């Protein structure tokens, strides 16, 4: 590691500690406001430790540093940690809906901010984009767990789909290839969080139909991307690596 990289990594340590402190403060606020038991504290603290540890490891590997957009994503991460604590603490019943929905709504709103900040400050990075995606994926997983208690275990498919896709990529390396940018994919991803939090709020009748629509769009999006990756996969042929181009005309 170069001196500059070591300096960047070292400077990130107190910042990580500050964000971990922010997580504890927000959890304490939840406890004073609506109550938070040992399971909630354990879930919130565990989330914070795992998040900061993985982010610190990624920064060390890449020699990068936190940018303005990454700090916005970290703020979202603190909110997601608190939502996780609330859901785990009151799993299946008695969840303080108003606070959970408020934290989730702010986290989802800030999802539109960090990308804008990255582009306007010229600090976009692969690590920042991945961090943003993982925060989104985990929030959707937590929300799907909560909503599943009302509508059934099928809702868990929404939160699990991203992780099933990653697990499948271990067996099928062609699933790890880069996908072309897609506005439809981003829209579908955003819809999941919005419709799940609407369902969690309990203020909209027939919310299970909205959640069903969210799952249908997600299946379509993952199916389309998987088909594209399959058609453009790279395989080994007679000792050489060659791309396979198979286009299915419908």
Give me the sign of the Cα torsion angle 137, 143, 146, 147: negative
Number of Cα atoms under 13 Å in the Cβ half of residue 78: 21
The vertex-195 CA angle with 158 and 181, nearest 5°, equals 65
Residues 53-87: b if buried by 16+ CB within 10 A, e if exposed:
eebeeebeeeebbbbebbebbbbbbbbbbbbbbbb
CA distances from residue 105 to 64, 213, 235 in whole angstroms, order as listed = 30, 20, 43
pLDDT at position 204:
87
DSSP state of 238: T
Backbone angles phi, psi at 224, to 5 degrees: -65, -45
pLDDT at position 124:
81
Residues with Cβ within 8 Å of residue 65, at least 6 apart in sequence: 8, 9, 11, 12, 59
User: Tens-of-pLDDT digits for all 250 residues of the chain?
Assistant: 444 444 444 455 667 678 888 999 999 999 999 999 999 999 999 999 998 888 888 888 877 777 888 888 999 999 999 999 999 998 867 788 899 999 999 999 998 888 788 888 887 888 888 888 899 999 999 999 999 999 999 999 999 999 999 999 999 999 999 889 888 998 999 899 999 999 998 888 889 999 999 999 999 999 999 999 999 887 544 445 455 444 333 2
Please give the Cα distance from 216 to 210 (Å, whole number). 10
Please give the Cα distance from 70 to 166 (Å, whole number). 23
* DSSP alpha helix (H) spans, the chain: 3-33, 38-62, 68-89, 97-121, 126-151, 156-171, 183-201, 207-231
pLDDT at position 94:
78
pLDDT at position 92:
67
- pTM, to two decimals: 0.85
pLDDT at position 9:
46
pLDDT at position 5:
45
């Amino acid at each position: 590691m170069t001196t500059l990289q070591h300096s960047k990594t070292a400077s990130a340590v107190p910042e990580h500690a500050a964000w971990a402190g922010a997580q504890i403060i927000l959890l304490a606020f939840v406890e004073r406001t609506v109550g938070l038991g040992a399971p909630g504290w354990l879930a919130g603290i565990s989330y914070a430790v795992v998040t900061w540890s993985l982010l610190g490891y990624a920064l060390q590997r890449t020699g990068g540093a936190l940018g303005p957009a990454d700090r916005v994503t970290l703020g979202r991460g603190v909110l997601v940690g608190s939502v996780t604590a609330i859901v785990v603490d009151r799993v299946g019943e008695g969840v303080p809906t108003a606070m959970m929905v408020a934290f989730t709504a702010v986290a989802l709103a800030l999802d539109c901010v960090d990308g804008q900040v990255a582009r306007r400050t010229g600090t976009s990075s692969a690590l920042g984009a991945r961090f943003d995606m993982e925060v989104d994926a985990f929030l959707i997983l937590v929300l799907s767990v909560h909503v599943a208690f009302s509508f059934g275990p099928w809702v868990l498919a929404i939160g699990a789909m991203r992780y099933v896709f990653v697990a499948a990529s271990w067996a099928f390396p062609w699933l790890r290839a880069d996908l072309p940018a897609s506005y439809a994919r981003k829209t579908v991803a955003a819809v999941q969080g919005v419709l799940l939090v609407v369902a969690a709020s309990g203020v909209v009748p027939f919310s299970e139909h909205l959640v069903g629509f969210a799952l249908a769009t997600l299946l379509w999006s993952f199916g389309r991307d998987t088909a594209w990756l399959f058609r453009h996969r790279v395989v080994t042929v007679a000792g050489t690596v060659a791309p396979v181009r198979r286009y299915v005309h419908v």
